[in-house]
Chain A
Amino acid sequence: MDTGDTAWLLASTALVLLMAPGLAFFYGGMVRSKSVLNIMMMVFYALAIFPIVWFLFGYTMAFGNDVGLGLVGGGEFIGLRGIAPDTLTGTVPTYVFVVFQMLFGVITVGLVAGAIADRAKFAAWMVFVPIWVLLVYAPVAHWVFAFDSADGSVKGGWIANQLGALDFAGGTAVEINSGFSGLALAIIVGRRVGWKREPFRPHNLPAVLLGAGLLWFGWYGFNAGSALAANGTAGLALINTTGSACAGILGWLAVEFVRDRKGTSFGAASGAIAGLVAITPSCGVVSPMGSLVVGGLAGAVCAWAIGLKYKFDYDDSLDVVGVHGVGGIVGMLAIGFLATEAGLFYGGGLEQLGRQAVASAVVLVYAFVVTYMIGLAIDKTIGFRVEEDVERSGIDQAEHLETAYEHLGGGSTLGG
């Protein structure tokens, strides 16, 4: 065991945990005041249920010895059996590794919630999350995050080992996965009442900015922690994470200045997240100058991509597809060009770019198809959508017997 590595991973794990309330505020500020508790609860519920499913089955499906073809891990760690305080993963205690990896899944499924904000039955979400963890997240995490052991005795997933796509901290398993799972659920659950007719104004942009800041803070643990060591790679991931977030803000604002002649605070917060999303897979393999390109590109592309939902008529309420799905693809493909070891711009040829595209496409299709089937099964049995009058009057009051704010006086309730 390396105490330096262990100390850094412990700290990183705590940082990543903070992304859950960060995401809850980021999303909470974006919805209307009558549904803020519901979306925050969807994220907090993910934080409650995911670890339990992970301890029981998820971890072993992701990090157990591969059962063949690199598709899923075996059952030797069911209920975390066989792991003790002195069990190591690399140079760190396995218990720390289990929790660090677990929190990636918490954030991933929390992100999915944004696609169906304002209108999903909470009970349906409670059923959806554990099923989705087992059928979608755990296998994909195995493909991407489980590496063959150095001595070859333990086999990992096909993307990390056979295919050889580079994904440092989860451009596929976290970002593309959440984005296109979100798209599937948005289609199953359907468009909000008033879609394209009524304004869905974010009710608290300061909360969005607070959430974006907390996510950025946590992302240092997410990316630099993914080095699983206190070393130079962690430092590279740290500086690249910073560069991409900054450039992401500027990229998004540039699109707004061209289109609207103003820069919005919501755009700045979104641009930071777009930059962080795109650097997630690439932070360990591009240079700091490369990170500025990745972030700027992601900010601009995502600012454009969030408009796709109006064109194709799917109501991805909080733009999970446009920011995380598309941002993840930008980051994965950027590796093919900008990776200092294998990228096209560094004389690496097209081979790496091809691997990145295959990994992205397979995770995209798998996440969409399997999530669609889970969503359909839940919708046909218990129903995924609240009644229309509940949606109109406010999902917080109907689903949680609470309201976030006390509305007194005339004007404050009129805006919805």
Chain B
Amino acid sequence: MKLVTAVIKPHKWEEVREALAAAGVAGMTVTEASGYGQQKGHTEVYRGAEYDVSLVPKIRIEVVVDDADAETVVSTITGAAQTGKIGDGKVWVIPVDNVVRVRTGETDESAL
């Protein structure tokens, strides 16, 4: 099993959700996040005082899938979240040892 984590632009979230649903992904965890990469931040001005705001709002998506589905999920997210401009985000994949469904106690693939 694999954990696919994606950090994307907030305004692309709806498109990514729809694309993942169309690709058959049944569940995910989503959080509002802050961060920056090459995009860095931006400047804000309050009563004339300029502040460099380094953290940019992002959406973080986490999906646990079968090994075989990981590639599809990554390409689905990448395709839906891409604008071609700086700040589009990152997607990464890491292996998962165990999964337990809390309600039934089922484990691993049958718990997904």
Does A347 interact with chain B (Cβ within 8 Å)?
no
Asked if A409 meets B47 with Cβ closer than 8 Å, knowing A199-B53, A414-B55, the reply is: no
Query: In the complex the two chains form, what is the Cα distance from A303 to B48 in whole Å?
Result: 8
Asked if A411 meets B44 with Cβ closer than 8 Å, knowing A199-B53, A201-B51, the reply is: no
Does B33 interact with chain A (Cβ within 8 Å)?
yes
Query: In the complex the two chains form, what is the Cα distance from A410 to B29 in whole Å?
Result: 12
Query: In the complex the two chains form, what is the Cα distance from A202 to B49 in whole Å?
Result: 11
Does A389 interact with chain B (Cβ within 8 Å)?
no
Tell me which of A139-147, A213-221, A258-266 binds B: A258-266
CB distance from B54 to the nearest CB of A (A): 10
Does A415 interact with chain B (Cβ within 8 Å)?
yes
Once the chains bind, are B47 and A410 in contact (CB under 8 Å)?
Answer: no
**Chain B 51-67, CB within 8 Å of chain A: the 1/0 string?**
11101011010000000
Query: Could you list 15 examples of A-B contacts with CB < 8 Å?
Result: A199-B49, A199-B51, A199-B52, A202-B46, A256-B45, A260-B48, A264-B45, A264-B47, A266-B47, A306-B47, A409-B31, A409-B32, A410-B32, A411-B57, A411-B58
B57 surroundings in chain A (CB, below 8 A)? 411
CB distance from A316 to the nearest CB of B (A): 11
**Chain A 240-280, CB within 8 Å of chain B: the 1/0 string?**
00000000000000001001101010110010000000000
Once the chains bind, are B32 and A262 in contact (CB under 8 Å)?
Answer: no
Partner of B32, one of A260, A310, A412: A412
Once the chains bind, are B44 and A415 in contact (CB under 8 Å)?
Answer: no
Does B72 interact with chain A (Cβ within 8 Å)?
no
- Chain A, interface SS category: loop
Asked if A266 meets B34 with Cβ closer than 8 Å, knowing A199-B51, A199-B53, A414-B55, the reply is: no
Query: In the complex the two chains form, what is the Cα distance from A201 to B47 in whole Å?
Result: 10
Interface centre among B34, B45, B48, by most chain A C-beta atoms within 10 angstroms, is B48
Query: In the complex the two chains form, what is the Cα distance from A267 to B48 in whole Å?
Result: 9
Query: How many residues does chain B have at the interface if contact means C-beta atoms less than 8 Å apart?
Result: 17
Asked if A262 meets B45 with Cβ closer than 8 Å, knowing A411-B32, A411-B33, A411-B58, the reply is: yes
A414 surroundings in chain B (CB, below 8 A)? 34, 55
Query: In the complex the two chains form, what is the Cα distance from A199 to B60 in whole Å?
Result: 25
Query: In the complex the two chains form, what is the Cα distance from A410 to B49 in whole Å?
Result: 27
A396 surroundings in chain B (CB, below 8 A)? none
Query: How many residues does chain A have at the interface if contact means C-beta atoms less than 8 Å apart?
Result: 23
A199 surroundings in chain B (CB, below 8 A)? 49, 51-53
B60 surroundings in chain A (CB, below 8 A)? 410
Instruction: Kindly report which residue of chain A lies nearest to residue B34, judged by CB atoms.
Output: A411
Once the chains bind, are A201 and B45 in contact (CB under 8 Å)?
Answer: no
A415 surroundings in chain B (CB, below 8 A)? 34, 55
CB distance from A188 to the nearest CB of B (A): 23
Binding site for A on B (CB under 8 A): 31-34, 44-49, 51-53, 55, 57-58, 60
B45 surroundings in chain A (CB, below 8 A)? 256, 260, 262, 264
**Which chain A residues in 374-416 approach chain B with CB under 8 Å?**
409-412, 414-415
Instruction: Kindly report which residue of chain A lies nearest to residue B44, judged by CB atoms.
Output: A201
* A-B pairs, 4 with minimum CB distance: A199-B51, A411-B34, A410-B33, A411-B32
Partner of A410, one of B34, B51, B52: B34
CB distance from B48 to the nearest CB of A (A): 6
CB distance from B33 to the nearest CB of A (A): 5
Query: In the complex the two chains form, what is the Cα distance from A116 to B31 in whole Å?
Result: 36
Query: In the complex the two chains form, what is the Cα distance from A149 to B69 in whole Å?
Result: 90
Query: In the complex the two chains form, what is the Cα distance from A306 to B46 in whole Å?
Result: 11
Once the chains bind, are A319 and B53 in contact (CB under 8 Å)?
Answer: no
Does A307 interact with chain B (Cβ within 8 Å)?
yes
Instruction: Kindly report which residue of chain B lies nearest to residue A259, judged by CB atoms.
Output: B48
Query: In the complex the two chains form, what is the Cα distance from A409 to B31 in whole Å?
Result: 6
A303 surroundings in chain B (CB, below 8 A)? 48
Query: In the complex the two chains form, what is the Cα distance from A313 to B49 in whole Å?
Result: 14
Asked if A410 meets B55 with Cβ closer than 8 Å, knowing A266-B47, A306-B47, the reply is: no
Instruction: Kindly report which residue of chain B lies nearest to residue A318, judged by CB atoms.
Output: B47
Query: In the complex the two chains form, what is the Cα distance from A259 to B49 in whole Å?
Result: 11
Apart from the given pairs A256-B45, A256-B48, 14 other A-B contacts in the complex at a CB distance below 8 Å: A199-B49, A200-B49, A201-B44, A201-B46, A201-B51, A202-B46, A262-B45, A264-B46, A266-B47, A307-B48, A410-B60, A411-B58, A414-B34, A415-B34
Once the chains bind, are A270 and B51 in contact (CB under 8 Å)?
Answer: no
A410 surroundings in chain B (CB, below 8 A)? 31-34, 60
B52 surroundings in chain A (CB, below 8 A)? 199
B49 surroundings in chain A (CB, below 8 A)? 199-200, 310
Query: In the complex the two chains form, what is the Cα distance from A267 to B46 in whole Å?
Result: 8
